[in-house]
Protein backbone atom coordinates (compact mmCIF):
# COMPACT_ATOMS: atom_id res chain seq x y z
CA UNK A 1 0.00 0.00 0.00
CA UNK A 2 1.44 3.36 -1.05
CA UNK A 3 1.93 6.06 1.58
CA UNK A 4 -0.48 9.00 1.18
CA UNK A 5 0.88 12.10 -0.52
CA UNK A 6 2.17 14.59 2.07
CA UNK A 7 0.21 17.77 2.67
CA UNK A 8 3.44 19.80 2.42
CA UNK A 9 6.50 18.60 0.57
CA UNK A 10 9.66 20.62 0.03
CA UNK A 11 12.55 19.31 -2.01
CA UNK A 12 16.06 20.85 -1.94
CA UNK A 13 14.70 24.26 -0.93
CA UNK A 14 17.15 27.17 -0.82
CA UNK A 15 16.63 30.81 0.12
CA UNK A 16 19.59 33.13 -0.39
CA UNK A 17 19.66 36.82 0.45
CA UNK A 18 22.08 39.15 -1.31
CA UNK A 19 22.65 41.02 -4.59
CA UNK A 20 21.39 39.06 -7.61
CA UNK A 21 21.02 35.94 -5.46
CA UNK A 22 19.35 33.92 -8.24
CA UNK A 23 22.36 34.31 -10.51
CA UNK A 24 24.81 33.48 -7.72
CA UNK A 25 22.75 30.39 -6.83
CA UNK A 26 22.94 29.18 -10.46
CA UNK A 27 26.75 29.10 -10.14
CA UNK A 28 26.80 26.88 -7.05
CA UNK A 29 27.96 23.30 -7.37
CA UNK A 30 27.90 20.47 -4.85
CA UNK A 31 27.01 21.28 -1.25
CA UNK A 32 28.54 24.66 -0.36
CA UNK A 33 28.80 25.47 3.34
CA UNK A 34 27.02 28.33 5.08
CA UNK A 35 30.41 29.95 5.68
CA UNK A 36 31.56 29.78 2.06
CA UNK A 37 28.29 31.34 0.91
CA UNK A 38 28.67 34.11 3.48
CA UNK A 39 32.22 34.79 2.35
CA UNK A 40 30.80 35.34 -1.15
CA UNK A 41 28.54 38.06 0.27
CA UNK A 42 25.27 36.11 0.64
CA UNK A 43 23.19 34.70 3.48
CA UNK A 44 21.90 31.14 3.12
CA UNK A 45 18.76 31.56 5.22
CA UNK A 46 17.48 28.16 4.04
CA UNK A 47 19.99 25.65 2.75
CA UNK A 48 18.99 22.54 0.80
CA UNK A 49 16.00 21.56 2.98
CA UNK A 50 13.95 18.50 2.06
CA UNK A 51 10.91 17.69 4.23
CA UNK A 52 7.57 15.89 3.90
CA UNK A 53 4.78 16.75 6.33
CA UNK A 54 1.89 14.26 6.41
CA UNK A 55 -1.73 15.19 7.11
CA UNK A 56 -2.50 15.76 10.79
CA UNK A 57 1.13 15.95 11.91
CA UNK A 58 2.49 18.62 14.23
CA UNK A 59 6.01 19.37 13.03
CA UNK A 60 7.97 21.63 15.36
CA UNK A 61 10.87 23.54 13.79
CA UNK A 62 13.45 24.80 16.22
CA UNK A 63 16.88 26.34 16.36
CA UNK A 64 18.69 29.40 17.66
CA UNK A 65 17.97 32.90 16.36
CA UNK A 66 19.19 33.16 12.77
CA UNK A 67 19.02 29.41 12.15
CA UNK A 68 16.47 29.86 9.36
CA UNK A 69 13.32 28.46 10.96
CA UNK A 70 11.07 31.50 10.35
CA UNK A 71 12.38 31.91 6.80
CA UNK A 72 11.64 28.23 6.08
CA UNK A 73 8.02 28.62 7.20
CA UNK A 74 7.66 31.69 5.01
CA UNK A 75 8.98 29.61 2.11
CA UNK A 76 6.43 26.85 2.84
CA UNK A 77 3.58 29.37 2.58
CA UNK A 78 5.31 31.39 -0.18
CA UNK A 79 5.25 34.56 1.86
CA UNK A 80 8.70 34.80 0.31
CA UNK A 81 9.84 33.22 -2.96
CA UNK A 82 12.48 30.53 -2.78
CA UNK A 83 15.80 30.74 -4.62
CA UNK A 84 15.94 27.06 -5.52
CA UNK A 85 14.03 23.80 -5.12
CA UNK A 86 10.30 23.12 -4.96
CA UNK A 87 7.48 23.42 -2.42
CA UNK A 88 4.27 21.47 -3.00
CA UNK A 89 1.06 21.95 -0.99
CA UNK A 90 -1.57 19.27 -1.57
CA UNK A 91 0.31 18.29 -4.71
CA UNK A 92 0.42 21.84 -6.14
CA UNK A 93 3.76 23.47 -6.90
CA UNK A 94 3.11 26.77 -5.12
CA UNK A 95 6.03 28.42 -6.92
CA UNK A 96 4.08 28.02 -10.17
CA UNK A 97 0.87 29.61 -8.85
CA UNK A 98 -0.20 33.03 -10.05
CA UNK A 99 -0.74 35.71 -7.41
CA UNK A 100 -4.52 35.31 -7.43
CA UNK A 101 -4.24 31.51 -7.09
CA UNK A 102 -1.72 31.87 -4.26
CA UNK A 103 -3.98 34.29 -2.35
CA UNK A 104 -6.89 31.86 -2.76
CA UNK A 105 -4.75 28.95 -1.50
CA UNK A 106 -3.78 30.92 1.61
CA UNK A 107 -7.33 32.08 2.24
CA UNK A 108 -8.87 28.64 1.82
CA UNK A 109 -6.25 26.32 3.33
CA UNK A 110 -3.76 28.18 5.52
CA UNK A 111 -3.96 29.78 8.94
CA UNK A 112 -1.06 31.79 10.37
CA UNK A 113 -0.27 32.94 13.91
CA UNK A 114 2.82 34.99 14.69
CA UNK A 115 4.58 36.14 17.86
CA UNK A 116 3.16 39.65 17.54
CA UNK A 117 -0.58 39.26 17.90
CA UNK A 118 -1.35 41.77 15.14
CA UNK A 119 -4.83 42.52 16.46
CA UNK A 120 -6.74 45.51 15.15
CA UNK A 121 -6.90 47.82 18.21
CA UNK A 122 -10.15 49.57 17.32
CA UNK A 123 -12.05 46.36 16.64
CA UNK A 124 -13.63 44.11 19.24
CA UNK A 125 -12.66 40.47 19.79
CA UNK A 126 -15.61 39.42 17.62
CA UNK A 127 -14.65 41.84 14.85
CA UNK A 128 -10.99 40.79 14.95
CA UNK A 129 -11.86 37.10 14.67
CA UNK A 130 -14.37 37.74 11.88
CA UNK A 131 -11.94 39.94 9.92
CA UNK A 132 -10.48 37.23 7.61
CA UNK A 133 -14.02 36.08 6.81
CA UNK A 134 -14.92 39.67 5.96
CA UNK A 135 -11.94 39.73 3.59
CA UNK A 136 -13.32 36.57 2.00
CA UNK A 137 -16.58 38.40 1.30
CA UNK A 138 -18.77 36.33 3.62
CA UNK A 139 -22.02 37.92 4.73
CA UNK A 140 -22.26 39.45 8.19
CA UNK A 141 -24.52 36.77 9.68
CA UNK A 142 -22.32 33.86 8.51
CA UNK A 143 -19.05 35.38 9.66
CA UNK A 144 -20.52 36.37 13.04
CA UNK A 145 -21.76 32.82 13.65
CA UNK A 146 -18.37 31.31 12.75
CA UNK A 147 -16.47 33.88 14.85
CA UNK A 148 -18.62 33.14 17.91
CA UNK A 149 -18.01 29.42 17.40
CA UNK A 150 -14.20 29.72 17.45
CA UNK A 151 -14.24 32.32 20.24
CA UNK A 152 -15.98 29.72 22.40
CA UNK A 153 -13.53 27.04 21.21
CA UNK A 154 -10.53 29.02 22.52
CA UNK A 155 -12.22 29.82 25.84
CA UNK A 156 -13.13 33.48 25.30
CA UNK A 157 -16.94 33.23 25.35
CA UNK A 158 -18.32 36.32 27.09
CA UNK A 159 -15.49 38.57 25.89
CA UNK A 160 -16.75 39.07 22.33
CA UNK A 161 -17.23 42.83 22.81
CA UNK A 162 -13.91 43.49 24.55
CA UNK A 163 -11.19 45.47 22.79
CA UNK A 164 -7.61 44.10 22.65
CA UNK A 165 -6.40 46.64 25.25
CA UNK A 166 -8.89 45.16 27.74
CA UNK A 167 -7.40 41.66 27.45
CA UNK A 168 -4.35 40.00 29.02
CA UNK A 169 -1.45 38.83 26.84
CA UNK A 170 -2.69 35.25 26.95
CA UNK A 171 -6.21 36.31 25.99
CA UNK A 172 -4.87 38.39 23.09
CA UNK A 173 -2.96 35.34 21.89
CA UNK A 174 -6.19 33.32 22.02
CA UNK A 175 -7.84 35.94 19.83
CA UNK A 176 -5.01 35.53 17.30
CA UNK A 177 -5.47 31.76 17.35
CA UNK A 178 -9.25 32.10 16.99
CA UNK A 179 -8.80 34.47 14.05
CA UNK A 180 -6.58 31.99 12.24
CA UNK A 181 -9.01 29.13 12.99
CA UNK A 182 -12.01 31.07 11.71
CA UNK A 183 -11.21 30.20 8.10
CA UNK A 184 -11.02 26.48 9.02
CA UNK A 185 -7.50 26.01 7.62
CA UNK A 186 -6.16 22.59 6.71
CA UNK A 187 -2.63 23.83 7.40
CA UNK A 188 -1.66 25.97 10.37
CA UNK A 189 1.63 27.90 10.59
CA UNK A 190 2.59 29.22 14.04
CA UNK A 191 5.78 31.24 14.50
CA UNK A 192 6.78 31.36 18.20
CA UNK A 193 3.18 32.22 19.17
CA UNK A 194 3.74 31.86 22.93
CA UNK A 195 7.22 33.31 23.38
CA UNK A 196 5.98 36.72 24.57
CA UNK A 197 3.91 35.17 27.36
CA UNK A 198 5.00 34.59 30.94
CA UNK A 199 5.78 30.94 31.86
CA UNK A 200 2.46 30.14 33.58
CA UNK A 201 0.30 31.54 30.76
CA UNK A 202 2.60 29.92 28.22
CA UNK A 203 2.02 26.52 29.82
CA UNK A 204 -1.74 27.11 29.82
CA UNK A 205 -1.63 28.08 26.16
CA UNK A 206 0.32 24.92 25.32
CA UNK A 207 -2.33 22.85 27.10
CA UNK A 208 -5.05 24.71 25.22
CA UNK A 209 -3.22 24.22 21.95
CA UNK A 210 -2.89 20.46 22.53
CA UNK A 211 -6.61 20.32 23.32
CA UNK A 212 -7.45 22.14 20.10
CA UNK A 213 -5.18 19.87 18.07
CA UNK A 214 -6.86 16.83 19.62
CA UNK A 215 -10.24 18.19 18.53
CA UNK A 216 -9.32 19.52 15.10
CA UNK A 217 -6.47 17.36 13.81
CA UNK A 218 -4.83 20.11 11.73
CA UNK A 219 -1.52 19.80 9.89
CA UNK A 220 0.68 22.15 11.91
CA UNK A 221 4.11 23.69 11.47
CA UNK A 222 5.10 25.27 14.78
CA UNK A 223 8.27 27.30 15.36
CA UNK A 224 9.91 27.58 18.76
CA UNK A 225 13.39 27.97 20.24
CA UNK A 226 12.25 26.27 23.49
CA UNK A 227 13.11 22.57 23.53
CA UNK A 228 10.73 21.81 26.42
CA UNK A 229 7.90 23.35 24.41
CA UNK A 230 8.90 21.31 21.36
CA UNK A 231 8.92 18.10 23.40
CA UNK A 232 5.41 18.80 24.73
CA UNK A 233 3.87 19.57 21.37
CA UNK A 234 5.69 17.76 18.57
CA UNK A 235 4.99 14.61 16.62
CA UNK A 236 8.36 15.31 14.99
CA UNK A 237 11.03 17.95 15.60
CA UNK A 238 13.22 19.49 12.89
CA UNK A 239 16.32 21.15 14.35
CA UNK A 240 17.93 23.81 12.15
CA UNK A 241 21.39 25.36 12.10
CA UNK A 242 22.79 27.78 9.52
CA UNK A 243 19.75 27.32 7.27
CA UNK A 244 19.97 23.51 7.14
CA UNK A 245 17.95 20.82 8.95
CA UNK A 246 20.41 18.96 11.16
CA UNK A 247 17.89 16.27 12.17
CA UNK A 248 14.16 15.65 11.75
CA UNK A 249 12.64 12.84 13.79
CA UNK A 250 10.38 11.93 16.68
CA UNK A 251 11.34 13.66 19.94
CA UNK A 252 12.39 10.43 21.67
CA UNK A 253 14.62 9.42 18.78
CA UNK A 254 16.30 12.83 18.73
CA UNK A 255 16.94 12.66 22.46
CA UNK A 256 18.22 9.08 22.35
CA UNK A 257 20.17 9.32 19.10
CA UNK A 258 21.18 12.90 18.22
CA UNK A 259 22.49 12.90 14.65
CA UNK A 260 25.08 15.67 15.14
CA UNK A 261 27.07 17.32 17.88
CA UNK A 262 24.87 20.40 17.53
CA UNK A 263 21.70 18.36 18.16
CA UNK A 264 23.39 16.65 21.10
CA UNK A 265 23.96 20.07 22.71
CA UNK A 266 20.25 20.82 22.38
CA UNK A 267 19.29 17.58 24.12
CA UNK A 268 22.07 17.46 26.73
CA UNK A 269 20.06 18.86 29.66
CA UNK A 270 16.80 17.07 28.82
CA UNK A 271 15.50 14.45 31.28
CA UNK A 272 15.34 11.59 28.80
CA UNK A 273 12.97 9.57 30.98
CA UNK A 274 10.27 12.22 30.48
CA UNK A 275 10.61 12.02 26.68
CA UNK A 276 11.46 8.43 25.81
CA UNK A 277 8.43 6.17 25.41
CA UNK A 278 8.28 2.42 25.81
CA UNK A 279 7.94 2.14 22.02
CA UNK A 280 11.37 3.74 21.54
CA UNK A 281 13.13 1.06 23.64
CA UNK A 282 10.90 -1.79 22.57
CA UNK A 283 12.51 -4.91 21.06
CA UNK A 284 10.96 -7.87 19.20
CA UNK A 285 9.56 -10.61 21.46
CA UNK A 286 11.66 -13.32 19.75
CA UNK A 287 10.55 -16.08 22.10
CA UNK A 288 10.99 -14.05 25.30
CA UNK A 289 8.84 -15.53 28.07
CA UNK A 290 6.40 -12.81 29.11
CA UNK A 291 4.15 -12.67 32.13
CA UNK A 292 1.90 -10.14 33.79
CA UNK A 293 0.08 -7.07 32.55
CA UNK A 294 1.36 -5.25 29.49
CA UNK A 295 2.51 -1.63 29.53
CA UNK A 296 1.37 0.93 26.95
CA UNK A 297 3.71 1.71 24.08
CA UNK A 298 2.85 5.44 24.52
CA UNK A 299 3.92 5.56 28.20
CA UNK A 300 7.14 7.39 29.02
CA UNK A 301 9.87 5.75 31.09
CA UNK A 302 9.17 8.42 33.73
CA UNK A 303 5.54 7.25 33.87
CA UNK A 304 6.76 3.67 34.28
CA UNK A 305 9.50 4.43 36.84
CA UNK A 306 7.74 2.96 39.89
CA UNK A 307 6.78 -0.20 38.02
CA UNK A 308 10.26 -0.66 36.54
CA UNK A 309 11.95 -0.27 39.92
CA UNK A 310 9.54 -2.40 41.99
CA UNK A 311 8.47 -5.11 39.55
CA UNK A 312 10.95 -8.02 39.49
CA UNK A 313 10.18 -8.98 35.86
CA UNK A 314 13.22 -8.71 33.60
CA UNK A 315 11.04 -7.92 30.59
CA UNK A 316 7.62 -6.29 30.16
CA UNK A 317 5.19 -6.92 27.32
CA UNK A 318 4.42 -3.73 25.40
CA UNK A 319 0.97 -3.28 23.86
CA UNK A 320 -0.58 -0.72 21.53
CA UNK A 321 -3.76 1.23 22.29
CA UNK A 322 -5.80 -1.64 20.85
CA UNK A 323 -4.18 -4.09 23.30
CA UNK A 324 -2.22 -5.95 20.63
CA UNK A 325 1.25 -7.12 21.67
CA UNK A 326 3.93 -5.03 19.92
CA UNK A 327 7.16 -6.08 21.58
CA UNK A 328 9.08 -6.24 24.82
CA UNK A 329 10.73 -3.64 27.08
CA UNK A 330 13.76 -4.94 28.98
CA UNK A 331 13.91 -3.72 32.55
CA UNK A 332 17.62 -2.86 32.50
CA UNK A 333 17.21 -0.65 29.41
CA UNK A 334 14.49 1.32 31.17
CA UNK A 335 16.59 1.65 34.33
CA UNK A 336 19.54 2.91 32.28
CA UNK A 337 17.35 5.70 30.90
CA UNK A 338 16.03 6.56 34.38
CA UNK A 339 19.58 6.80 35.72
CA UNK A 340 20.83 8.73 32.70
CA UNK A 341 23.17 5.91 31.68
CA UNK A 342 21.74 5.25 28.23
CA UNK A 343 24.21 6.13 25.49
At 3 the pLDDT is: 58
- Round to the nearest angstrom and report the end-to-end CA distance of the chain: 36
**pLDDT average, residue stretch 26-34:** 89
On the CB side of 93, CA atoms within 13 Å amount to 8
Sign of CA dihedral 135, 140, 145, 149: positive
User: What's the CA dihedral at 203, 204, 205, 211 to 10 degrees?
Assistant: 110
Say yes or no: 256 and 308 in one domain.
no
Q: What pLDDT, in 10s, does the model give residues 107-138?
A: 888 888 876 667 889 999 999 999 988 888 88
Structural domain ending residue among the three candidates 271, 296, 328: 271
Structural domain ending residue among the three candidates 271, 298, 315: 271
Say yes or no: 162 and 285 in one domain.
no
CATH number, domain with residue 263: 3.40.50.300
Give domain status of residue 2, yes or no.
no
Domain with 214, as residue range(s), is 8-271
Q: How confident is the model at residue 232 (pLDDT cuts 50, 70, 90)?
A: confident
Parallel/antiparallel/unpaired status of strands 315-319 and 325-330? antiparallel
E strand or H helix at 176: helix 169-181
Q: What pLDDT, in 10s, does the model give residues 49-89?
A: 999 999 999 999 999 888 999 999 999 999 999 999 999 99
Say yes or no: 133 and 202 in one domain.
yes
pLDDT at 24 over 90: yes
Please count the structural domains in the chain. 2
- Taking the model in full, what pTM does it have? 0.83
Q: What pLDDT, in 10s, does the model give residues 285-304?
A: 887 778 888 999 989 898 89
Residue 123: CB atoms within 10 Å: 14
Amino acid sequence: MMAPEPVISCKSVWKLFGPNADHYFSTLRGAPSFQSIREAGYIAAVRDVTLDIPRGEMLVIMGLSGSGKSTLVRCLSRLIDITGGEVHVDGQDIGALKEKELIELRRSKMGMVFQSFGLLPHRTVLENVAFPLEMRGQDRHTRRARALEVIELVGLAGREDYFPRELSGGQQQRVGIARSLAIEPDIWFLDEPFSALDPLIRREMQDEFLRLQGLLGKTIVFITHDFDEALRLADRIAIMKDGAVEQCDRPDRIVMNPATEYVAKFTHEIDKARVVRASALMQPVNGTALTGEAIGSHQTIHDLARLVINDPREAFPVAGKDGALLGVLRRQEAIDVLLGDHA
